[in-house]
A = this chain, B = another copy of it.
Amino acid sequence: MYMDQPIGVIDSGVGGLTVASELMRQLPKEKLIYLGDTLRCPYGPRPKEEVIKYTLEMVNFLREKKMKLLVIACNTATAFTLDILRETLDIPVIGVIEPGARAAIKMTNNMNVGVIGTEGTIESKAYPAALTSIHADLSVYDLACPKFVPLVEKGMFTGDEVYRVIEESLQPLKTIAEIDTLILGCTHYPLLADTIQAVVGKDVMIISSGEETAREVSAILGYQALLFEGERHPEHEFYTTGSSDVFEQITQQWLDITVNDVKKITISSNF
C-alpha cells in the first residue's frame, strides 16, 4: 500500500540527520530512506547551478526506491530546488524553509525575525521571501554564518571557542534589531543551539527547522491520508556518497542513534 512506503530524505551531507532524527521522534512508525551527499558537502558555498545538479542527482538515485514523500533536508538545496522538484515529482515534496518560516510567524510577537544560514541560503533570500509573502509586515534580518558548519563538522558544539565564534558571527544581527525570534536556517545549527541561545539571550525564541519540518511532514501525510496506520518499528536505510564509517560515527556522536549498514553509493548524473 502507498501509505506503507518510506519517506525519502536528501541532504548535502550529515546536517539533515537533525531533520531525520525529528522525523523518527515525531513519526516513529514511518520508515526513512536517507541519502547524504557527504562527498560533495557542503552545498552552502556552491553556485546555484551546481546545487541544482547535485540535488537532482540525489533525487534520481532515490527515485528507484518507492517513496510516498520527499524531504529536502538541506536549506541550500531547498532554496534552489523546491519549486523544480514539486513540478517534477508526483509525490509531496517538503523543504525545510517554509516550515521554519511558518513557525516564526506563529511565534513572533514584535514582528522582527532573524535568520541565520549558509552563504547560499542567505544570498538566495528564500527565507525573507517565504516570510514576507505570507506576512508583509514582518521585518526580516538575515545573516550568513559561514563559520558555523565547520565547527559542527569538527564536533565542536559548546565551549569557550565555540561561544566566541558564535558571538562574533552574530554581532551584526544583535546591533541591527531587537529580534524576538531566530530561525536556524541550516540543519547543522541545531547542534549549536545551546550556545546560540546563550549568546542571543533567553528572550529570543530559537526555531529549529528540523522540528518544524517533521511537524509539517506529519500534517501533509495526515491530510493526504498517507500516514502509516498499523504497528511497526521500521528499519531505516541510510546511504552516503562519502565514507560510511564517518557517517556512522557522526550519527552516533551527534544524535545518539546507532546506525549500522550505512551504504556507500555512487550517484550518476542522468536525470
**Residues of A in contact with B (beta carbons under 8 Å apart):** 26-29, 92, 94, 98-99, 102-103, 105-106, 133-137, 211, 214-216, 218-220, 222-223, 227, 229, 231
Q: A98-B222, A223-B220 are in contact. Are A136 and B29 (CB under 8 A)?
A: yes
B residues in contact with A99, CB < 8 Å: 219
Number of copies: 2
Q: Given the known A-B contacts A134-B227, A227-B134, A229-B133, are A106 and B26 also in contact in the complex, defined by CB atoms under 8 Å?
A: yes
Specify which chain B residues have a CB less than 8 angstroms from the CB of A211 in the assembled complex.
Answer: 106
Complex interface: chain B residues within 8 A of A134 (CB)? 26-27, 29, 218, 222, 227
A136, B28: Cβ atoms under 8 Å? yes
CB distance from A230 to the nearest CB of B (A): 10
A222–B97 alpha-carbon span in the complex (Å):
12
- CB of B133 within 8 A of CB of A223, answer no
- Which one, B29, B102, B103, B137, contacts A28 given CB within 8 A? B137
Bound-state Cα–Cα, A134 to B217, Å: 12
Closest CB-CB distance, A218 to chain B, in whole Å? 5
- Min distance, Cβ A223 to any Cβ of chain B, angstroms: 6
